[in-house]
Amino acid sequence: MARRILKPAVSPARRAGKILYGVLVALSAVIVLLYCVFLYLRRPPEYRGANPVSPTPPGQVSGPGGQQASATPAPEQGPVRREYTYTFLLVATDQSSGSTDTMMVLTYDTVNQKAGLVSLPRDTMIDGVGEKNGSHFYKLNSMCAYNGIEALREEVSGILGFPIDYYVKVNTRGFVRLIDAVGGIDFYVPVNMSYDDPTQDLHIHYNKGMQWLSGRDALKVARCRQNSYIDEDGSVRTYDVYGGADIGRTDTQRNLLVAVLKKALSNPQKFAEYYDIFLENVETDLDAQALVFFAAEALEFDFSSGLTASVLPGDGTVTYHGWTWCYELDPAGVLETVNTCGLNPYTADITGDMLDIAQKG
């Protein structure tokens, strides 16, 4: 009769060890897979204009995110783009009219972690024609409402002399939600604000100085252009909060944006919530790959040393074809701002003949 050989019993501790080992192997595989997906998504996106970003052979200059950047761009006609430097049109739409109440352009050098941010006054003078009805309009903030975001991008590209790679258009609801998501912001309100408009149920009252602002507070501060009061006859009167046309409010809006971005990037654990807000309230041509790339790069950005902010210079008292208080840009001043404030995405200076700026004369 054959003798049965009994296998030694496996102790519970050893069995648990095998299970734990299997879990760790599976978890490691998942981590490696997710890391590979992240590296794939973090590839630098393409941009418009000269020298589009494309895969390059190994052994060349390292770009952002460990990517390989070409040390010597391929020769071609026209201006040469700096490697991995991108341009963005950032706009916020007015609640009632759909006009772009806030317009900025950001140039972001992801290799050197430098950025230039410029505000374009809403009343910037242009020669606009409605594509559908042929009607004429003469202020930049009307372009999107008449002809759409692509037409606005083209107009701004002409003014600044370089192509805009991507646009981001946010509605006011998204602005409010983002600020609330980061727990509000500490912000220096530059002027005393006291405005009441019962027809809109709009009441803006803030003292000059450092304030904590919720999303609704920040929106009111961003919108405020005038203060109001009741005169001796009981009539409501208004006066400008800021001097210098709408430039003061433009500066406030840009500073608000920077404060929000700094607070958001200091809380990267909330990126999933930011992404939900982004999807629900933002119109953009950035895809998922580009969003991952720029989010990862922005985590390394130092606002105190890397950002240069400015506004395009001009005269906001001009009347043009019957439209009053147009902001006529100063071509020489615009050219200097583009070339000295981190906006120029090219390796050489932009020249005056590359700008397309409407002039009254």
DSSP string, 261-323: HHHHHT-GGGHHHHHHHHHHHEEES--HHHHHHHHHHHTT--HHHHEEEEE--EEEEEEETTE
Helices (H) and strands (E) in the chain, counts: 10, 18
> Which among 82, 189, 159 is positioned nearest to 356, based on CA atoms?
159
Would you place residue 197 in the very low, low, confident or very high pLDDT band (cuts 50, 70, 90)? confident
Check residue 65 and give its pLDDT.
Answer: 58
Domains of the chain: which residue ranges? 85-347
Evaluate whether 318 touches 344 at the Cβ level (below 8 Å): no
For tokens 């020669």, name the residue: 127
Q: 66-92: per-residue pLDDT in tens?
A: 555 444 444 456 789 999 999 999 999
Could you tell me if 104 and 257 are in contact, meaning their C-beta atoms sit under 8 angstroms apart?
A: yes
CA dist 9 and 212 (Å) reads 67
When mean pLDDT is compared across 71-80, 125-134, 240-249, 287-296, the lowest value belongs to: 71-80
Residue 37 is predicted with a pLDDT of 43
Q: How confident is the model at residue 64 (pLDDT cuts 50, 70, 90)?
A: low
Strand-pairing partners, residue 242, are none
How does residue 28 score in pLDDT terms, banded at 50, 70 and 90?
A: very low
For the ranges 22-26, 139-143, 269-273, 281-285, the lowest mean pLDDT is seen at 22-26
Asked which of 28-32, 73-77, 239-243, 332-336 is least confident by mean pLDDT, the reply is: 28-32
pLDDT of residue 339: 97
Strand partners, 172: none
Mean pLDDT (whole number) for 2-14? 60
Mean pLDDT of all residues in 201-208: 91
What pLDDT score does 342 carry? 95
Pick from 359, 361, 337, 360: nearest CA to 161: 337
Half-sphere exposure of 127 (CA within 13 A, CB side): 7
pLDDT tens digits, residue range 250-293? 999 999 999 999 999 999 899 889 989 998 999 999 998 898 89
CATH entry, 85-347, from 3.40.630.190, 3.40.50.620, 3.40.50.2300, 3.50.50.60: 3.40.630.190
